[in-house]
């Protein structure tokens, strides 16, 4: 299959005088915002099913510079870890976002978003089940922003690159965004496929050639030769005593 040509159009607007590495172009680009002194910026949040660890802190501090086994209901557990995460970020002096977006608070908007994508001709229902939707990326311009990879899976996909927007047995797979974004940031491990899919669905919804101008990706924090991760059980939480000591020293020097 012939790959679509990658191209990046420099935004028109306010030049901040800052250059940043843009994952879309694989090089540093001048940071130009649509509005002076205002940046529309979306940053991928944590999956709040356990304590925040240094890998989370590392990512958010970098960008700031530029559970069932507990017998707790999932919603209560999520809110508990969400509030812990906010306190941890405050201790690290990471500026809070203007808005915290929860999937569970925006289900009607997500449903309407998917319906609009289908009306625009970029979504379809597979024959294996009416609850499974995919974005049809074959007729979108400039797909596969960060990689040339394909995703295998359901046998009746129209294209291997198509991805699930909704499954009856799982939470929604899509994210709802505005029509234009200056900056999108997150971990490099989410560039493919999560961030590529966000670009595809947003451009399919808004019928635009370029939805996000700059994609910033943070490399994972390596611990004992492996990426620090909750799933690998090799993480050190921000609340660990010696980490709290470092935070105390950091805050003391900044006050």
> How far is residue 252's CA from residue 206's CA, in Å, rounded to a whole number?
47
pLDDT digits (tens, 9 = 90+) for 184-194: 988 888 888 78
Which pLDDT score is estimated for 14?
87
Is it true that domain 10-39+106-219 has CATH number 3.40.50.620?
yes
Cβ neighbours of residue 136 closer than 8 Å, sequence gap 6 or more: 121, 122, 123, 124, 158, 159, 162
Task: Give me the mean pLDDT over the 116-141 stretch.
Answer: 71
Could you state, in order of their start, the residue ranges of all structural domains in the chain?
A: 10-39+106-219, 46-100, 223-254
% of the chain residues with pLDDT over 90 = 5
Which pLDDT score is estimated for 123?
84
Which pLDDT score is estimated for 1?
44
**Torsion (CA) 187, 188, 191, 192 in degrees, nearest 10:** -120
Which pLDDT score is estimated for 20?
86
Instruction: Report the predicted TM-score, pTM, of the whole model to 2 decimal places.
Output: 0.65
pLDDT digits (tens, 9 = 90+) for 243-252: 555 555 555 5
Task: Give me the mean pLDDT over the 192-216 stretch.
Answer: 87
């Amino acid at each position: 299959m012939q790959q679509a040509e990658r191209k990046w159009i420099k935004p028109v607007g306010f030049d901040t005088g800052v250059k940043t590495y843009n994952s879309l172009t694989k090089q540093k680009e001048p940071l130009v915002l649509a509005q002076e002194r205002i940046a529309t910026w979306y940053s991928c949040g944590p999956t709040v099913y356990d304590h925040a660890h240094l890998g989370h802190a590392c990512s958010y501090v970098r960008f700031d510079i530029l559970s069932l086994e507990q017998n707790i209901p999932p919603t209560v557990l999520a809110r508990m870890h969400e509030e812990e995460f906010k306190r941890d970020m405050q201790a690290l002096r990471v500026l809070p976002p203007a808005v915290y977006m929860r999937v569970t608070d925006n289900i009607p908007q997500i449903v309407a978003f998917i319906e609009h994508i289908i009306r625009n001709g970029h979504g379809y229902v597979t024959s294996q089940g009416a609850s499974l939707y995919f974005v049809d990326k074959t007729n979108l311009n400039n797909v596969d922003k960060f990689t040339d990879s394909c995703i295998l899976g359901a046998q009746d996909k129209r294209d291997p690159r198509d991805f699930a927007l909704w499954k009856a047995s799982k939470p929604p797979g899509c994210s709802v965004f505005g029509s234009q974004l200056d900056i999108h940031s997150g971990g490099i491990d989410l560039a493919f496929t999560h961030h590529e899919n966000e670009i595809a669905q947003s451009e399919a919804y808004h019928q635009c050639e370029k939805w996000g101008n700059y994609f910033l990706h943070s490399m994972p924090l390596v611990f004992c030769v492996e990426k620090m991760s909750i799933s690998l059980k090799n993480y050190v939480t921000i609340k660990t005593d010696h980490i709290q000591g470092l935070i105390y020293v950091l805050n003391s020097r900044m006050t």
